[in-house]
Amino acid sequence: MALSCQPMLQVMEQHLKSKYTAMFDQQQPYAIYMEDSLDSDFGKMGFGIMRYSPHPIACVIDSTQSGKTVREACGEPFDVPVVGDVKTALEMGAEIFVLGTAPSGGRLPDEWLSEIERALRNGMSLINGLHDRMEERFSHLITKENQKIWDVRVSGPDVPIARARAAKLRNKRVLMVGTDMAIGKMTAGLELYKWLLDQGVNAGFIATGQIGITITGKGIPLDAIKVDQAAAAVEAAVLEQQDKDILIIEGQGSLLHPGSTATLPLMRGSCPTHLVLCHKAGRTHLRNPNHIAIPKLDEFIQLNEAVANVNGSLCHAKTIGVAINTFGLDEALAKQELQKIEILTGIATTDVIRFGVESIGKQLI
């Protein structure tokens, strides 16, 4: 029996469903491939899908944790069974094979090939969030009419350079920023978006990474776009939804990370009016490279606001919330951490999963 997870797409507007529903029937169960990643940050795509996808989740594939549930394997709140291989996933009714792990560099590991080929040869569709494209490589294995390969990180047509056109819009544009990678920027953005919809706000969401695009069915794969055109792609996505009163833009990377260039085109393209800072509780240095210290959060907030504003040339972006990932802390310690950060920054601070996003959302309406 497949398990259904939180049906985020059921509350999203039709413009976010169009491409997704054309790609797959939402009744088709997923098997999420997370080999040896259930207890690591590399599994963030799989966890995002479990939390928000409208598809039933038949199982997760991880031979190192087979026989457990996801909750038992790593503590994440999903009672999805973990199996050891594609054969078992097929027996459980899975129809779509999702690569739920984001390895370093986003490249396809050779050890995944046999399971991908086995899934395709047995009629499963494939959702691929890696940089390596699968459709050309594996399309010869497609045997069924409704079987598809979706390479999520395929950029659209070339666009002209950005011209700060979003700065002229009258709506509120909220960009999620972070102190590091893989700390919950997408999760905080989706939770804020869902809360706004629940309040009856005319809100939109722009997915900018493979997980958000897979969940919502629409967006821009920012890290697959030429650097000179990245800001323009963000700008085009913002202008496409300029009818929205509040627009949530999924964040990527960090100004602090030496390997990330994503935050700058997000700022330039969206010309944000508001920012939400995302951070992992207790983290004092980047996860990798771990020799780089994370500055005090109030100082980092000032940096992001200054870069977004460009000395007054663009919109003034005010930080309205701090979203802290407190996973791994008990409730008492989590609340202490949130209180400490709220006192330091003077800004509404919460863990959007454990305690909700209302305190941040109220700053917008």
Would you list the domain boundaries of the chain?
A: 3-151, 165-361
| Structure confidence at residue 9 (pLDDT) | 43
The two structure tokens encoding residue 228: 């000179």
Q: How far is C-alpha 299 from the geometric centre of its chain's CA atoms?
A: 25
Correct CATH for 165-361 of 3.40.50.300, 3.20.20.70, 3.40.50.620, 2.60.40.10 = 3.40.50.300
| Structure confidence at residue 105 (pLDDT) | 59
Q: Same topology for domains 3-151 and 165-361, yes or no?
A: yes
**Residue 126 contacts residue 156 (beta carbons within 8 Å):** no
Question: What's the half-sphere exposure (Cβ side, CA atoms, 13 Å) at 356?
Answer: 7
CATH class of 3-151: alpha beta
| Structure confidence at residue 104 (pLDDT) | 63
Give, for all 365 residues of the chain, the pLDDT tens digit: 344 444 444 444 343 343 444 578 889 999 999 998 888 778 888 999 999 988 999 999 999 999 999 999 998 999 999 999 999 999 999 999 999 987 765 678 888 899 999 999 999 999 998 888 899 899 999 988 889 999 998 877 777 789 999 999 999 999 999 999 989 999 999 999 999 999 999 999 999 998 899 888 889 999 889 888 999 999 999 999 999 999 999 999 999 999 988 999 999 999 999 999 999 999 999 998 999 999 999 999 999 999 999 866 677 899 999 999 998 899 999 999 999 999 999 999 999 999 999 999 999 99
Tokens 């935050």 locate to: 263
- How many Cβ atoms from other residues are within 10 Å of residue 364's Cβ? 21
